[in-house]
Amino acid sequence: MHSNGYERDIIIVTGCNAVGKTTASNYLRKLANLHKILFENCIISDSQCLFEAMQLDDQAGGLHHTHDWCTTGTQDHSHLPDRPEFPFIVLDDELPNMMRQQFFLKLTELPKTGKLWFVEWAAGINTNPPEDPVSCIDYSYSLVKRMFHDGTLPDGWLKRIKAAIHLEADNHVRFELNKKRFVPSSARMHAIETGTAFWQKDERVLRFYGRDDFSEIKGLFQAAGIPIYTLKNDGGNSFYKGLAKIAGAIFLPRLPLFFSGMVMYISSMFSLFGHHKSTSSTEKPLMIKETSPTEEQEKVSV
């Protein structure tokens, strides 16, 4: 296997929660391994940083989050040995703010090892009804953009991004994907880092990221010369085909993988990893559009 040898050593997979980011990261790592691309075994994600912030909050009395087993109406809680940490829900912006600071600082300070880092970042607009107190919690891209502009968050990591993969999914697909998640109450950070554990989210948490506003921050990526690939997850085989196409563009940039206006099939690469059961009755071709990273997103639609 060979080193990627580039200053740009981060591949970031981003989108609302429950759109398939960890599935995509794991699949891309398989493809990187196939192409003998060296990468770090752990996945860096904002969910890790949120989990760590929740643990710190637990030590301080648990004022800013709650669990299913907490007594309704109480303002704090403490953990007994038999009380699980998953699932949990934040109650205000305290933990998301802690998470953002730690996450983007961690990206900025990632060691340069000659290997690729895979990173996951969830963001979106809160669509909980206004009467729900958690409707004020802000995970949006637009907030992060403002925090970059006013210097609240570090942005040095942008110059290390090799590619940004923006995933989209209709809400009914997100809800179905979320139902398939399972994380044992004993799961710890290592399982999250290796992409082997996910925690199932309730409807309010899914609505924290209910509407994608990636367009708000797209310009920052384009200004930094970062290629952006947008892929819609329909819950079927075409998602994996799209990921394989994107992997070819990232890992084998000399190949003419993108041709404007052409319809291309990638079943040969896809077959290397076996058959994935689709939720659709028919397979659709991939529409590949070649664009400059500084003009508009490279879009892989299905």
pLDDT for the residue 49: 94
Q: How many beta carbons lie within 10 A of that of residue 278, not counting itself?
A: 15
Which pLDDT score, from 0 to 100, does residue 288 have?
A: 32
Side chain identity at residue 70, one-letter code: C
**Longest CA span, the chain:** 59
Residue 196's φ and ψ, nearest 5 degrees, are -105, 0
Q: Which of 207, 51, 181 is nearest to 124 (CA)?
A: 207
Quick one: DSSP state of residue 46? H
3-state secondary structure of 11: strand
Tokens, residue 15? 């989108």
Q: CA geometry: angle at 13 spanning 45 and 37, to 5°?
A: 95
Catalogue all structural domains in the chain, each as residue range(s) with its CATH number.
Answer: 10-301 (3.40.50.300)
Residues 6 or more apart whose Cβ sits within 8 Å of residue 212: 15, 16, 124, 125, 168
The reported pLDDT for the residue numbered 279 is: 41
Reported pTM: 0.80
**What pLDDT does 181 receive?**
65
pLDDT in tens, the chain (302 residues): 655 555 899 999 999 999 999 999 999 999 999 999 999 999 999 999 998 988 888 877 777 777 666 766 566 666 666 666 666 778 899 999 999 999 999 999 999 999 999 999 999 999 999 999 999 999 999 999 999 999 999 999 999 999 999 999 999 999 998 887 655 544 455 555 554 455 567 788 899 999 999 999 999 999 999 999 999 999 999 999 999 999 999 998 655 444 322 323 333 343 344 434 444 434 444 433 333 454 444 566 44
User: Phi and psi at residue 287, in whole multiples of 5°?
Assistant: -95, 115
Question: Quick one: angle between helices 94-108 and 46-59, nearest 10?
Answer: 130
- Please tell me whether the peptide bond between 87 and the residue prior to it is cis, using omega within 30 degrees of 0: yes
